Homo-oligomer: A and B are copies of this chain.
């Protein structure tokens, strides 16, 4: 229940209604923390308790949460967007074979663009994606 306070506060702050759908979607995200689910993953999860929720609502809500800064969007080249309820600054480690995505909590102080290499851009942030093969997939045949 305490976790939900974050959601309730954000919704109130944006004058948005607190609906069961939004609650359950947020809960599913928190429960699946660190798992970087897709919209479809969340849909399947929430359906177990709210069987009539629509996929559209899941997409809408995820978009809203991203807009409110409660959720981060992670786009790798997998054909579908993944979501990250962990909004702390962190990087990622991706299994190229099965798509498993883990959080990396190291700060790399050397990552910075010298002023003469920004090509005039205003740089706001950066992310590192490590690529490799996860332990499970290392066992597999191919």
Contact = CB atoms under 8 A, between A and B. Distances in A.
A5 interface: no
Determine chain A's interface SS by DSSP, over half rule. mixed
Contacts of A93: 113, 118-119, 121, 123
A129 to B, nearest CB: 5
Interface residues of A, number: 37
A13 interface: no
A73 B75 CA distance: 13
A80 to B, nearest CB: 11
A95 B106 CA distance: 25
A96 B106 CA distance: 24
Nearest to A123: B132
Interface stretch (A40-48, A50-58, A133-141): A133-141
Given A125-B131, A126-B129, 18 more contacts: A75-B75, A77-B81, A93-B118, A104-B113, A106-B113, A108-B108, A108-B110, A111-B111, A113-B130, A119-B135, A120-B134, A121-B130, A121-B135, A123-B132, A124-B132, A125-B130, A126-B128, A129-B129
A83 to B, nearest CB: 11
